[in-house]
Chains A and B, each alone.
Chain A
Amino acid sequence: MRILHTSDWHIGRTLNEKSLIEDQKVMIDNLLRWIEENRPDALVVAGDVYDRSVPSREALAVVDDFLSAVVLEMKIPVFFIGGNHDGRERLAVNGGILNRQGLHIVGNYAPGLEPVILQDQWGEVCFWSLPFIKPVEYRSLTAAEKSPSYDLMYREMIAEITGRMDASKRNVLMSHGLILGGALDSDTIDDSVRPIEIGGIEYACAEDFEAFDYVALGHLHRPQKVLWDKVRYAGSLLKYSFSEHNQKKSVTLVELGQKGDLSHEQIWFKPLRDLRVIKGKMEDLTTLTAYEAPGREDYLKVVLEDEERLITPMDKLRKVYPNVLEMEYAKREKTEAQKNSSRIKERIKEPLGLFEDFYAFACGKAIPEDEKEVIAELFQEITEVQE
């Protein structure tokens, strides 16, 4: 059985107020064309199909057109699970009807959910859905007294599934969440996943996933394996933040043979525009030759290395690079105020660190542990709500 694994489409996303829908349409078209030519047996989208819980009409239309072609015309079963960006209740509206057409959507986690079973020449393949869930939600679902840790929650949920699954059959798990092989490496996480860094990031360990034949993960935007080859993040459809500018985006084609047989392959598509970071002086960046340079229309973050600030730098840059989305000057602080200001701006996406700085400034000493804990917890709460 050939399963195409993808995730984190984030349809309807904007980057620095620029709508990326055009780029997404091209990518979805690429994907559709590939599916049409290669006819996989199933398509898995492991969460964050949409960027917002209430997607725009345009975003809905993009996904709708795609699904109509894949599910209704090509008759390829499709699996959707809820991600942290999706309106998880909304996503699964009319799920019963769609199910019969071969579109299997699980928006919210529900214990005891039966797997969807597909057949191939080697027998049955069971698809288990484990959408995004927060420990608080899990607590209210299980009526436990206290929210468990993220890791414990995942262990319980996995045990609930492995406890009733037939290990002689092939089992595929689809999940959206932060699953890591070992300790947290902050390079793993990119800005899109976690727009704001909070004190301790909660994640689950992949150890218990060994019972499955394949685990299709979503959430992290960089395609990667976790512990084993059979536990993988497909990565996002496009580069969704400048911190991802070095990542190569792909979708993963998984081939399940007899029980225990697995091979996989990355498939790359060319995006409408790349997303890059360029550096240099204004004069050098906007010479005549710059007009001929490839990728002039890419989405860019420009780091200007001019010593002095310039008049209307964005207007100047846009003449050459119509899609500049961000601009900053390379470090060049002179005064104390400038140093402070650039430090603050640097840490603006890292609220806890910013607060630590502020605390030191306001109180004249470093923040004690107990106060730091309180602030970290509050930021966590706030971002959870905002997500």
Chain B
Amino acid sequence: MKPLKLTMHHFGPFTDETIDFTKLDKELFLITGATGSGKTTIFDGLCYALYGEASNTHRQSREMKSQFGDPFDMMWVDFTFGLRDRVYRVKRIPEQERKKERGEGTAKQKHEAELYDCTDGGEVLLSSSVAGVGEKVVDIMGINANQFRQIVMLPQGEFSKLLKAKEEERIELLKSIFRMELYNTLKEKVSTALKDIRKKREALKIELDTEAGHIRCGECGELAAVLANNSHTTDYVLALMHKEIEADYTEIKTLEKSENQTAAVLEGLRITLAAGEQLNSQFEQLDKQKEKRLGLEAQKIEMTQKEERLSLSKKIKTIKPYKESWQHQKSKLEQAKKALEETKNRRDKILTDLKKSEAEYHRVMAPEYDREIETLSHKLETQKRLAEGLGAYTLKSQALAKAQISRADLEKKAERKELDEAALKKLGQDQTAVERDLLTLDKTLQSTGFAIQTLEGRQEKAEEALEIYQDIEGWQKEIVGLRAEWKILQTKIKDRQDEYEQLLAKQRTQAAAGLAKTLTDKTPCPVCGSLHHPQKAILKTDEAVSEDVLKALSKSLKTLEETSAKTKERGKYLSESIEKSRKDFKRRLEGAITTAQDTAEIDSVALKALDQQIEEEIEILQTKAKNTDKQLKAKTKEKTSIAKVMAELEKQLEAYGNLSEPLKALREEESMLRGQTLQMRETLETLIAAVGFGEGLDKADWLLKKINSFNTNTAALIQEKKGYKNNTQSQYQKLKQTGAEVGADFKNETDSLTKAEKEAETLGSQFQEVLKAAGLTEESIKAFSLQAGETEESLEAGIEAYRFDLKSTIQRIDELSHGLKDKKPSDLAAYREQAQQHSQTIEAIQKRVTLLNEKIGQNQKQIKKIQALLEALEAVEQLQGIYTHLDQTIKGTLAGRPKISFERYILSAYLQDILESANIFLEKMSSGRYRLEVMGNFSQTGNRGLEIEVVDAYTGQRRSANTLSGGETFMAALSMALGLSDIVQSYAGGISLDTIFIDEGFATLDPEALDNAINCLSAIKNDGRTVGIISHVEELKDRIDTKILVKKTEAGSHIQIFE
């Protein structure tokens, strides 16, 4: 994990600070600043961003909120880091109070986290839930927060835990780094299994006791005593039980013998008893039969009566059919009479109805009735026609009204069109006028422009002329000055020349004198060679001419002459210039003036006046041009608006289209409709008068409604009349026919009545004859009846049964009396008592035997159960032994053996590995003085396998790591952290630990140790690991160039990077 960028917002002392780690080009950097400035907070920020936990377990994320700025500004951390070849960004908002988004007050901000993959520049969201980010971070980092604090970010005072913490804590730390689940599970499994086994053993014992409680034994005897006192082993109890069972079997045998004997006696008694009981019952039978016979004889009279009733009943039965057919015939006759009467009444009624119907029939068949119907039909027809007419008329009237409105609309439209056309024409004229004006104005503008241009040309020329004029004037003045100067110069030159001549003469004399002075006779003159010097020149002191003066004079003269020549030259040049400029001036002037003025007369005043005049003229013309332009613009605008209005009008006119054609058509349609309405009106009025409702055509709607209701009524009336006629006709015909039919019926019925009367008479006499033959009368038949519940069959059966019963009873009495001759009933009570006693004895024996068998059975079952339980118990106890031993072994609690658990045994190997890697660092840092080793002597009291010892090479002593001084502890702990990171990576190469941060501790080092530590860290750095150190140790500030400086101010701390 390489940090790239960390932003902390309202986090700790920082209100909004960003550290760009990529700016730290060195792999080793220092975070420094005053105490309390927030150095460690940077670590917290990193650690919190990654894991949602601070770098130190004592710091709570809630407490990290900045004290500076608005207390409700959101606190968050944003951290970008590289991992292997990828780049990730994580942002976390801790849980905190924040302002409500709406309204007053505060709300709770939940913990939020987001993780992105930014490898390819963009951001790919990997997770946005706290749990998801947590998982993903551990996944990509390969280590969790705890491991991070042990290996990557070594927090103040905490990373020495691995070295100095209590053993338990060290175990926890090692376990958090190396996977020990399998072995922990084993420990727990053994422990749990042992507990289960113990429980099982207890349960078995309880069960054994329970089963012992179910043993059955006699009230006294050894078994009972042993069980009561629970005093002997289970095996002894089992032996006693076997004995008890043996005794019980013996008793059963004795009992069975006695039972057999008693049973034999009982058998004999039973035979005797059976014989006596049979005799006694025969005597009882005889008495019963005799009693029965007496009863039967008492019923004899009743039986005779029954026989008589039976014979009478049979006789009556033979006569009954005769009487029934006679009575039947009589009732038939009655019915026939009644029917005849009804037919007669019907016939009479029909005759009356027929008479009435005939009169009505004649009325409807008369011609007057048909005429009535015809009149009504005619009326209906008229009304219908009127209704149709009225309907058509209403439609026509509406069409007419509509046509009128359309025509009026169109006429109005045509008027508008005319107006628009006129307006368009007027606008056309306006447009032409405006265009004309525009042309004029344009021309004016052009000419004015032209005039201004001309004037401006003139003005320019006049100004130029003035300029030239002024130049000439200046030059002329200069020439006058030059001439005077030149004159003076000439005088001066002359004077000087004279003066020079004089001085030159003097000098010549002097030179001679000088020469002469050196001349001696007979010495040749250097000039002439004469050896004779008669007249030697004599030097006069006042006349002595200095060579310098002469030279100065000559120079002055030369200067004067040069000046004079220059003056002359200048004058000449000016004259020439004037001459040239005069020509120019004249040319300009000719361009400037308009009138034929003499150019020579013009001077500068005149020129200025001219310029002024031209300027005024230009101004006038410009004003004019401006006005013209304004007018032009106004006109143009006018033209545009006219064009617009015209376009609109044209569009409008086009929209009107051709109006005259449709108007003509509409007018024709209207007049046609009017004609039609009038015609209809006449017809209709005639019809209305004919119908006579009293109202005119102007109330057409009312009429229509009225007619419609009348029509319905009239039609119904006609229908009714026609129907009535038909009905009457058919009814009359029907009545006529029915009358004929009823007449025929009456005649038939009268005939059959006569016949029935004759039949009844015959049957009556037949019945009387039969009655007489049987010796009965109608009264005696009526009086006889069978008793309730009696039938002929039941009577017959009763009589039969009685006869049989009586006969068999007498027979049975004879048989019994014969058999019991000379015999007497016997007394059995004594035998019975004896038999009962014997039975009871047998029962008692059997009960006892059953009881004993049950007891034996149960005890045998119990023996089996107890034996099984004993076996199970033995097995469990054996298992308990194994598990107890294993449990103690795994936990390291075996007596007299090293107190080292399985877990510690394994962890000690890891620890050994870590220490070996750590020693490379520690030896370097302590200049070869210290090494760390796992305490090897396991039998030493208190050594539980994970004790760390320091071996001091200087003294050769081994001592506990706890005795190390502050500085030594720091070195050892740092070495262990580095060693640990080496080991973790070599076990799990997927984890990349390329960064280490160390928070403080350096203050405890002496200069040499500090040197060594820094060298050590530099070596690591060279292998590509980033090393960050938090410290305020001065020497470090000097030794490490790359620094992150945390500055404390009143408004929070700020971060600065130095390279």
- Residues of B within 8 Å of A269, CB to CB, are none
Q: Please determine whether A325 and B990 come into contact, CB atoms closer than 8 angstroms.
A: yes
Q: Please determine whether B912 and A338 come into contact, CB atoms closer than 8 angstroms.
A: yes
- Closest partner residue, chain B, to A378 (CB atom): B189
Q: Is A328 an interface residue (CB 8 A)?
A: yes
- Residues of A within 8 Å of B919, CB to CB, are 309
| A200, B880: Cα distance in complex, Å | 24
Q: Is A136 an interface residue (CB 8 A)?
A: no
Q: Is B921 an interface residue (CB 8 A)?
A: yes
- Residues of B within 8 Å of A311, CB to CB, are 920-921, 978, 982, 1019-1020, 1023
Which stretch (A69-77, A127-135, A347-355) binds chain B?
A347-355
Q: Is B985 an interface residue (CB 8 A)?
A: yes
Q: Please determine whether B912 and A337 come into contact, CB atoms closer than 8 angstroms.
A: yes
- Interface residues in A13-47 by Cβ distance below 8 A to B read 14-19
Q: Please determine whether B886 and A363 come into contact, CB atoms closer than 8 angstroms.
A: no
- Other-chain contact of B902, A310, A355, A382 (Cβ < 8 Å): A355
Q: Please determine whether B913 and A341 come into contact, CB atoms closer than 8 angstroms.
A: yes
Q: Please determine whether A358 and B182 come into contact, CB atoms closer than 8 angstroms.
A: no
Q: Please determine whether B988 and A17 come into contact, CB atoms closer than 8 angstroms.
A: yes
Q: Please determine whether B990 and A312 come into contact, CB atoms closer than 8 angstroms.
A: no
Q: Please determine whether B990 and A382 come into contact, CB atoms closer than 8 angstroms.
A: no
| A318, B993: Cα distance in complex, Å | 11
Q: Please determine whether B989 and A323 come into contact, CB atoms closer than 8 angstroms.
A: yes
Q: Is B898 an interface residue (CB 8 A)?
A: yes
Give min CB distance, B522 to chain A, whole Å: 111
Q: Please determine whether B898 and A15 come into contact, CB atoms closer than 8 angstroms.
A: no
- Residues of A within 8 Å of B320, CB to CB, are none
Give min CB distance, B146 to chain A, whole Å: 16
With A315-B994, A348-B906, A362-B894 known as contacts, the answer to whether A310 contacts B985 (CB < 8 A) is no
With A309-B916, A311-B920, A355-B902 known as contacts, the answer to whether A324 contacts B989 (CB < 8 A) is yes
With A374-B882, A382-B189 known as contacts, the answer to whether A316 contacts B986 (CB < 8 A) is no
Give min CB distance, B394 to chain A, whole Å: 75
| A328, B917: Cα distance in complex, Å | 12
| A265, B911: Cα distance in complex, Å | 50
- Interface residues in A256-277 by Cβ distance below 8 A to B read none
- Residues of B within 8 Å of A338, CB to CB, are 912, 916
Q: Is B909 an interface residue (CB 8 A)?
A: yes
- Residues of B within 8 Å of A315, CB to CB, are 994, 1020, 1023-1025
- Other-chain contact of B185, A328, A362, A374, A382 (Cβ < 8 Å): A382
Q: Please determine whether A312 and B912 come into contact, CB atoms closer than 8 angstroms.
A: no
| A379, B1020: Cα distance in complex, Å | 41
- Residues of B within 8 Å of A319, CB to CB, are 1023-1024
Q: Is A375 an interface residue (CB 8 A)?
A: yes
Question: What number of residue pairs across chains A and B have CB atoms under 8 A from each other?
Answer: 143
Q: Is B114 an interface residue (CB 8 A)?
A: no
Q: Is A326 an interface residue (CB 8 A)?
A: yes
Q: Interface size class for chain A?
A: 35 or more
Q: Please determine whether A354 and B906 come into contact, CB atoms closer than 8 angstroms.
A: yes
- Interface residues in B878-898 by Cβ distance below 8 A to A read 882-883, 885-886, 889, 892, 894, 897-898
- Closest partner residue, chain B, to A299 (CB atom): B989
Q: Please determine whether A362 and B892 come into contact, CB atoms closer than 8 angstroms.
A: yes
Give min CB distance, A109 to chain B, whole Å: 27
- Interface residues in B854-894 by Cβ distance below 8 A to A read 882-883, 885-886, 889, 892, 894
Interface of B, secondary structure class, is helix
Q: Is B813 an interface residue (CB 8 A)?
A: no
- Closest partner residue, chain A, to B1025 (CB atom): A315
Q: Please determine whether B1024 and A382 come into contact, CB atoms closer than 8 angstroms.
A: no
- Residues of A within 8 Å of B181, CB to CB, are 386
- Interface residues in A314-339 by Cβ distance below 8 A to B read 314-316, 318-319, 322-328, 335-338
Q: Is B1 an interface residue (CB 8 A)?
A: no
Q: Is A145 an interface residue (CB 8 A)?
A: no
Q: Is B190 an interface residue (CB 8 A)?
A: yes
Q: Is A340 an interface residue (CB 8 A)?
A: yes
Give min CB distance, A181 to chain B, whole Å: 31
Using an 8 Å CB-CB cutoff, how does the interface string of A46-69 with B read, 1 for contact, 0 for none? 000000000000000000000000
| A65, B933: Cα distance in complex, Å | 54
Using an 8 Å CB-CB cutoff, how does the interface string of A345-387 with B read, 1 for contact, 0 for none? 1001001001100110111100000110011001101110010
Q: Is A196 an interface residue (CB 8 A)?
A: yes
- Residues of A within 8 Å of B912, CB to CB, are 337-338, 340-341
- Other-chain contact of B897, A16, A18, A363 (Cβ < 8 Å): A363
- Residues of B within 8 Å of A379, CB to CB, are 182, 186
Q: Interface size class for chain B?
A: 35 or more
- Closest partner residue, chain B, to A374 (CB atom): B882
Q: Please determine whether B882 and A344 come into contact, CB atoms closer than 8 angstroms.
A: no
Q: Is B142 an interface residue (CB 8 A)?
A: yes
- Residues of A within 8 Å of B882, CB to CB, are 370-371, 374
| A300, B921: Cα distance in complex, Å | 26
| A327, B990: Cα distance in complex, Å | 11
Q: Is B649 an interface residue (CB 8 A)?
A: no
With A337-B912, A354-B906, A386-B181 known as contacts, the answer to whether A309 contacts B920 (CB < 8 A) is yes
Q: Is A182 an interface residue (CB 8 A)?
A: no
With A311-B1019, A383-B182 known as contacts, the answer to whether A362 contacts B989 (CB < 8 A) is no
With A362-B889, A379-B186, A386-B181 known as contacts, the answer to whether A344 contacts B897 (CB < 8 A) is no
- Residues of B within 8 Å of A342, CB to CB, are 909
- Closest partner residue, chain A, to B878 (CB atom): A370
Q: Please determine whether B989 and A314 come into contact, CB atoms closer than 8 angstroms.
A: yes
- Other-chain contact of B1020, A312, A337, A341, A354 (Cβ < 8 Å): A312
Q: Please determine whether B894 and A312 come into contact, CB atoms closer than 8 angstroms.
A: no
- Residues of A within 8 Å of B190, CB to CB, are 378
- Residues of A within 8 Å of B702, CB to CB, are none
- Residues of A within 8 Å of B142, CB to CB, are 17
Q: Please determine whether B989 and A382 come into contact, CB atoms closer than 8 angstroms.
A: no
| A80, B367: Cα distance in complex, Å | 109
Q: Please determine whether A363 and B894 come into contact, CB atoms closer than 8 angstroms.
A: yes
With A319-B1024, A338-B916, A363-B889 known as contacts, the answer to whether A345 contacts B989 (CB < 8 A) is no
Interface centre among B982, B1019, B1024 (most CB of A within 10 A): B982
- Closest partner residue, chain B, to A196 (CB atom): B182
| A344, B903: Cα distance in complex, Å | 12
Q: Is A280 an interface residue (CB 8 A)?
A: no
Give min CB distance, B991 to chain A, whole Å: 5
- Residues of A within 8 Å of B186, CB to CB, are 351, 355, 375, 378-379, 382
Q: Please determine whether B989 and A313 come into contact, CB atoms closer than 8 angstroms.
A: no
| A311, B1020: Cα distance in complex, Å | 7
Give min CB distance, B874 to chain A, whole Å: 14
Give min CB distance, B457 to chain A, whole Å: 88
- Residues of A within 8 Å of B656, CB to CB, are none
With A358-B905, A371-B886, A378-B186 known as contacts, the answer to whether A325 contacts B989 (CB < 8 A) is yes
Give min CB distance, B836 to chain A, whole Å: 58
Using an 8 Å CB-CB cutoff, how does the interface string of B981-1011 with A read, 1 for contact, 0 for none? 1100111111111100000000000000000
- Residues of A within 8 Å of B934, CB to CB, are 337
Q: Please determine whether A309 and B917 come into contact, CB atoms closer than 8 angstroms.
A: yes
Q: Please determine whether B897 and A15 come into contact, CB atoms closer than 8 angstroms.
A: no
- Interface residues in B577-606 by Cβ distance below 8 A to A read none
Give min CB distance, A147 to chain B, whole Å: 18
- Residues of B within 8 Å of A18, CB to CB, are 989-990
Q: Please determine whether B920 and A16 come into contact, CB atoms closer than 8 angstroms.
A: no
> Would you list 20 pairs from A and B whose C-beta atoms are within 8 A, ordered by A residue?
A16-B990, A196-B182, A308-B920, A309-B919, A314-B989, A326-B986, A326-B989, A327-B986, A345-B913, A354-B906, A362-B889, A362-B897, A362-B900, A363-B897, A371-B885, A374-B886, A379-B182, A382-B185, A382-B189, A386-B181
**Interface residue ranges, B against A (CB under 8 Å):** 84, 139, 142, 181-183, 185-186, 189-190, 193, 882-883, 885-886, 889, 892, 894, 897-898, 900, 902, 905-906, 908-910, 912-913, 916-917, 919-921, 933-934, 936, 978, 981-982, 985-994, 1019-1020, 1023-1025
Beyond A337-B936, A362-B894, A379-B182, 12 additional contacts (C-beta under 8 Å) are A17-B991, A18-B989, A309-B920, A313-B986, A315-B994, A319-B1024, A327-B989, A342-B909, A345-B913, A354-B906, A362-B892, A362-B900
